[in-house]
Amino acid sequence: MASEGKTLVIAIDNSKECLKAIDFAKEHFPTGYAYHLLHVQTHPIAASALLANADTAAIAYYGQEAWDQERMEATQNFLHKVFIPKASEAGATVTATILHSEPDGSSAIGAAICNFVEKHKPVALVLMKQNKSAVARFFVGSVTKYCATKCHVPVIIVPT
């Protein structure tokens, strides 16, 4: 990792739109910085918690476990084949972390990102602004808004 105070955390999801956040970092922080890619893998409320029948709940639990494993493999694949090579083009040291968050939701994801940032003390957090309707932002929330108001480092919001 680069010297103390010279790391950018770049929050990403499994979308190619997040490549714009990496492009932003490469353009505006081209030398002397390490890039720490951060992906938060969520665990939605398990279907087993909603089912009354124990046998059905057990089947749903194992199905959820398999689905989580597939999502984790897809995330690792995307990180290693798309994001890390793209970030490495700048010549920076690139590390990647996949965090787990329960439950699924903007506040939980935002809290996981802010906790990571608090622990690792980068110079800034870079993330994408997802285009959501006003209704979606009201009911679902916004990871970007959460991080912008709760993180204790500068938050750079890259528009889509």
98-156 per-position pLDDT tens digit? 998 877 678 889 999 999 999 999 999 999 887 666 665 554 468 888 999 999 999 99
Q: Is the confidence at residue 48, as pLDDT, over 50?
A: no
| Distance from the Cα of residue 140 to its chain's centroid | 16
- pLDDT recorded at residue 141: 60
How far does CA 39 lie from the centroid of its chain?
A: 3
Tell me what the pLDDT averaged over the chain comes to: 81
| CATH 3.90.245.10, domain 7-44+72-159, yes or no | no
Whether residue 36 contacts residue 10, with contact meaning beta carbons closer than 8 Å, is answered with yes
Sorted by where each begins, the domain ranges of the chain are 7-44+72-159
Other C-beta atoms within 10 Å of 159: how many?
9
Task: Output DSSP code: residue 29.
Answer: S
Per-residue pLDDT, averaged over 24-53, amounts to 76
